[in-house]
Amino acid sequence: MLLGLDNPEPENVEGIRDYLVGAVGYFKDIRVLGLFAAGIVLFMILFGTYLTYFTFLLDREFGAPSQVIGLMMSVMSLTTALVSSQMGRTNRRFSVGTIIKMSFLIYAVGLIGMPLASSLWTMAIPIMIFGVGQGANIPTIQTAVAGFAPLEYRGAFMSITSMIIRLGQTLGPPVMALVYIWGGLHATFYVGAGMAVGVALVGLVVGQWVPSHFEPEPELCS
């Protein structure tokens, strides 16, 4: 990559104030705001439900030792890596909006299946399903955000994306802690699944209501 990557440097002579004003203008795009909102929910689910309560679920339901818990979480990570490696082909066949909506629905299926698993062996199925959603969702959102940003403002877009990730990571655990207090361990997974379905439904409704604004340009899917 160091020798072969074509990475043109932006030519920008704006001051910091003009740069920020120019970048904010692109942040007002409803598609960009939708991607940011989806990113917040994504990381709330990942850090609030999965990373916080999945280990408790394995310990409480199956008495799994730490080695087995680590192995189960590795299954999700490996699935995520495999799916992410194929997203170039997937993006050529489906639009960004379709991939994100389907990814959140896949998230929901995986989250619902985790507390319903009857054994560690069957737990591998919802874990892999969740990994598929994870592997499709994160790179698609990040690529789409970068695609909406002109080259000269891409740094600002990536900075905001990082802030969105941290916001989701911060909000997820306390929100799901309240859910745990209210409804117990299983409720954290069902509420996470409901949040994922909610994102998919909002994307579907908004996409039909204002399709010219919600659906990304074709070049973002290449």
Say whether pLDDT at 136 is over 90.
Answer: yes
Q: How far apart are CA 128 and CA 107, in angstroms?
A: 10
Is residue 145 situated within a structural domain?
A: yes
3-state secondary structure of 7: coil
CA contacts within 13 A on the Cβ side of 84:
16
Do 32 and 96 meet the contact criterion of CB atoms below 8 Å apart?
Answer: no
24 found inside a domain: no
Confirm whether 6 is domain-assigned.
Answer: no
Q: How far apart are CA 79 and CA 129, in angstroms?
A: 8
Residue 187 has what pLDDT?
A: 97
The pLDDT of residue 212 is: 43
Range of the domain at 193: 46-215
- Structural domain contains residue 142: yes
Task: Count CB neighbours of 203 within 10 A.
Answer: 20
**Region of residue 127 (left: phi > 0; alpha: psi -120 to 50; beta: else):** alpha
User: Is position 58 within any domain?
Assistant: yes
pLDDT given at position 213:
42
- For 6-46, what is each residue's pLDDT tens digit? 656 556 555 666 666 666 777 777 888 888 899 999 999 99
Residue 149 belongs to a domain: yes
Secondary structure class of 172 (helix, strand, coil): helix
Based on the structure, what is the number of domains in the chain? 1
- Specify the pTM: 0.84
Question: Residue 179 belongs to a domain with what CATH number?
Answer: 1.20.1250.20
pLDDT digits (tens, 9 = 90+) for 62-118: 999 999 999 999 999 999 999 999 888 888 888 888 899 999 999 999 999 999 999
Residue 15 lies in a domain: no
Q: Is residue 39 part of a domain?
A: no
Rounded Cα–Cα distance for residues 179 and 48 (Å) = 10
Q: How far apart are CA 81 and CA 156, in angstroms?
A: 27
Burial 9-44 (b: 16+ CB within 10 A, else e): eeeeeeeeeebeeebeeeeeeebbebbbebbbbbbb
Q: Three-state SS for 15? A: coil
- Secondary structure of 97-133 as H, E, C letters: HHHHHHHHHHHHHHHHHHHHCCCHHHHHHHHHHHHHH
Please compute the mean of the pLDDT values over residues 128-133 and round it to a whole number. Answer: 96
Q: Is the dihedral of CA 84, 216, 29, 201 positive or negative?
A: negative
